[in-house]
Amino acid sequence: MTYDFFNKLFGSQIVAALIQSLLPLFFFILPFALFAVWFERKVSAHMQDRLGPMRVGWHGWLQSIADILKLIQKEDIIATENDKPLFNIAPLLVFVGSYAAFAAIPFSSAFIGSNLDLGVFFIVAVSGFVVAGILMAGWASNNKYSLLGAMRSAAQIISYEIPTILVIVTIVMVTGTLNLNTLSEMQTGHFWNWMIFGGPTFGIAKFLLIPFMILGFVIIYISTLAEVNRTPFDIPEAESELVSGYHTEYSGMKFAMFFLAEYANMFAVSAVVAALFFGGYQSPIGYLGNLIGIKWFIPIEQLLWFTAKGLFFVFVQMWLRWTLPRLRVDQLMAACWKYLIPLAFVNLIIIGLITLI
């Protein structure tokens, strides 16, 4: 929709596509990352009965902007023993991986970067890019801690992609589509049409689906949490063991890229979870635009709902981070291979049987 608008406005498909692709970066990811860094500090502080940043602006809301300004000024250190080309390209690759995922995420019915029929598949595929970037960063740093962190990260992300994909497959089985926009459209109406409540079709299958959908949601939430390297699955960064993991050797803006990628990733996986299970951009209670008859207001409302859902799941990620201690490497692998994958398989089979009804 916005693409058509820009196409008409500028009369050029290239300019329209460029603007379309840069819109989420400058109007969503960057402000969100700045907000999320501040929010994370505030949440962690208040969970520990502290106050967090209070000095820069009202309750320190300018803190992350001050941090970014500081990072821009910092020296870009490249050690002599680093593998320079890989070292320089790694943060970009990590960021590209998380940014590309936003292409297939529907922000509202009027804005989706690229209305792909293989939307979810595309997101899973490009988030695999992040592994390459992290491994590259760890290896090129020529630092034992970095390499160890990168190795752990690769093992972790690849392992946890399996339960994620298994749960996505269950959703695909029920809905029959990989397109996130169509998926969101299907869950329109009220919140009982969301996939977590058995999907839009009313019948006995809907009620049978509910417990298994909740199980699926828990599995995908845990595994995506592990995929974005957040505590309790932050063994790639593990401050107390590995200094700071794969980004130990990075400084200045390259470090900021990793940071930005982490927060962009957090929102991306939250958005995917929201789109799969919680109706994406659909309002749970109907639209104000419909009520007062202003049609153009609906996409804006949808954007707000989408942001609210994404932010809620990001908040839960932070909440978990400041609640749970880090898992050991063997525990991490056990949690994935011994618990999440079998459960996801069982869930897949049961939901498959239910959809036959």
Work out whether 51 is an interface residue with another protein (CB under 8 A): yes
**Residue 232, preceding peptide bond in cis (omega within 30° of 0):** yes
Which CB, 45 or 92, lies closer to another protein? 45
**Residues pairing with 285 in the sheet:** 190
Work out whether 214 is an interface residue with another protein (CB under 8 A): no
Contact 155, 332 (CB under 8 A): no
Please pick, from the candidates 324, 346, 349, 353, the single residue that binds another protein as defined by CB under 8 A: 324
Work out whether 167 is an interface residue with another protein (CB under 8 A): no
CA dist 305 → 154, 275, 278 (Å): 34, 11, 11
Reduce the DSSP state of residue 15 to 3 states and report it: helix
Please pick, from the candidates 48, 79, 117, 201, the single residue that binds another protein as defined by CB under 8 A: 48
Work out whether 202 is an interface residue with another protein (CB under 8 A): no
What minimum distance in Å lies between the beta carbon of 278 and another protein?
19
What minimum distance in Å lies between the beta carbon of 162 and another protein?
18
Please pick, from the candidates 322, 329, 333, 355, the single residue that binds another protein as defined by CB under 8 A: 322
The string of DSSP letters for 131-198 reads HHHHHHHHHHTT-HHHHHHHHHHHHHHHHHHHHHHHHHHHHHHHH----HHHHHHHT-SBGGGSGGGT
Work out whether 47 is an interface residue with another protein (CB under 8 A): yes
Please pick, from the candidates 320, 329, 333, 348, the single residue that binds another protein as defined by CB under 8 A: 320
Secondary structure E strands in the chain: 106-108, 111-112
Please tell me the distance from the alpha carbon of residue 83 to that of residue 67, in angstroms, as a whole number. Answer: 28
CA dist 210 → 26, 92, 99, 280, 339 (Å): 38, 41, 32, 18, 20
- For residue 233, the 8-state DSSP code is S
Work out whether 110 is an interface residue with another protein (CB under 8 A): no
Total residues interacting with another protein, rule: CB under 8 A = 16
Which CB, 71 or 320, lies closer to another protein? 320
Which CB, 47 or 62, lies closer to another protein? 47
Please pick, from the candidates 46, 84, 144, 328, the single residue that binds another protein as defined by CB under 8 A: 46
Please tell me the distance from the alpha carbon of residue 165 to that of residue 168, in angstroms, as a whole number. Answer: 5
Residues 74-93 within binding reach of another protein (CB under 8 A): none
- For residue 328, the 8-state DSSP code is P
Reduce the DSSP state of residue 105 to 3 states and report it: coil
What minimum distance in Å lies between the beta carbon of 47 and another protein?
5
Half-sphere exposure of 341 (CA within 13 A, CB side): 12
User: What's the token pair of residue 280?
Assistant: 């994406």
Please pick, from the candidates 9, 76, 339, 352, the single residue that binds another protein as defined by CB under 8 A: 339
Please pick, from the candidates 9, 312, 323, 353, the single residue that binds another protein as defined by CB under 8 A: 323
Q: Look at residues 357, 208, 191 and name the one whose alpha carbon lies nearest to residue 277.
A: 191
Please pick, from the candidates 5, 12, 13, 50, the single residue that binds another protein as defined by CB under 8 A: 50
What minimum distance in Å lies between the beta carbon of 32 and another protein?
21
Work out whether 54 is an interface residue with another protein (CB under 8 A): yes
- The piece of 38-46, 88-96, 259-267, 345-353 that touches another protein (CB under 8 A) is 38-46
- The piece of 86-94, 106-114, 200-208, 319-327 that touches another protein (CB under 8 A) is 319-327
The contact set with another protein (CB under 8 A) reads: 43, 45-51, 54, 319-320, 322-324, 339, 343
